[in-house]
Structure 1
Amino acid sequence: MAKEAKTNAMRMLDRQKVKYEAFPYECDEFIDGLHSADLIGAPYEQSFKTLVMEGKSGGYYVFVVPIEKEVDRKAAAKAVGEKAVDMIHVKDILKITGYVRGGCSPLGMKKPYPVVFDASAGGFEEIYVSGGRVGLTLKVPLAALLKVTNGKLADITMK
């Protein structure tokens, strides 16, 4: 059996000696988080998507929200001390993060951007996030994710 190719996200966790579970699945192109969760049998409320936004200041921010929810841009901006934040263009994802759409992980981006996890993640010991490529999800302890990404929890989703 071929050994799984490590992604930047996995290497980052390995360097920090964080135990995680990898869930590869068959997928040729971008699918949304709900379909990804279905393919690996992960609970929706414990599965999170990674969104990258640009603030008015020109800085980039990473928001990790439940797959079934939408980010509240005002709350997200407030969480990072910006007047406003907007989604980056799909064409810019690879250039900014080093990842492709559907494979964007909060771990191991080209540069360390501020990371905010929705407060709902605090209800779980482990959460599911993208593993850094389409077709790979990682189940990682939340405490380790917060530490490795230097992230924080905040209410950043629409009610």
Structure 2
Amino acid sequence: METQATRFLKQQKVAFEGHPYEYEHRGGTKVSARELGVPEHQVIKTLIMQNESREPLVVLMHGDCQVSTKELARQIGVKKVEPCTPETASRHTGYLVGGTSPFGTKRKMPIYLEKSIADLPLIYINGGRRGYLVSINPADLVRVLSPTLVEVALASGD
């Protein structure tokens, strides 16, 4: 399956495997992990947020965790961080919400990676469309995106 994200990965010579699954509206990482039979902790969410000046940023987080926006703001030196609206996120990335990938975004944005993701053996991350994840080595993600490592995970309360 060819997407903006997979083209980017090929250009960067990143080895990846595509994993299509049955997309469920608002299903999130719980559904993709279940459909692919992988731990939700290894499914990485791509979250598009903004600071108080409405400057967008990307946060990559474990599927089974939430982002502490207060802690993120503190660690990156801004007053406030909040999620973008789906429309704003699509405008910044060129992707539909539910199909947002950190690879090949329309606009270059700072990327923040939850530090423990880099320690996983393999991660599953959106491949640029709804119902499509790619599995890659997190070292490759770090190499091609040069993210800033942060520690802002909160265990999900569900």
**TM-score in terms of structure 1 length:** 0.90
- Deviates most, 78-87 or 139-148: 78-87
**Deviations, residues 22-72 of structure 1 (Å, cap 9, x unaligned):** 101133645211101111112111111111111113311100111111100
1:45 corresponds in structure 2 to 41
**TM-score in terms of structure 2 length:** 0.91
Query: By percentage of residues, which structure has more strand?
Result: 2
1:123 maps to amino acid? D
Superposition RMSD on alpha carbons, in Å? 1.5
CA distance in 2, matches of 1:20, 1:87: 28
Q: Which runs of 5+ in 2 are unaligned?
A: none
CA distance in 2, matches of 1:17, 1:99: 22
- Does structure 1 residue 23 correspond to structure 2 residue 22? no
**Partner SS for 2:123:** strand
Aligned residues: 155
CA distance in 1, matches of 2:82, 2:40: 25
2:132 to 124, 129, 136: 136
1:148 corresponds in structure 2 to 144
2:35 maps to amino acid? L
Q: Which runs of 5+ in 1 are unaligned?
A: none
Contact 1:125-1:143 within 8 A present in 2 as well: no
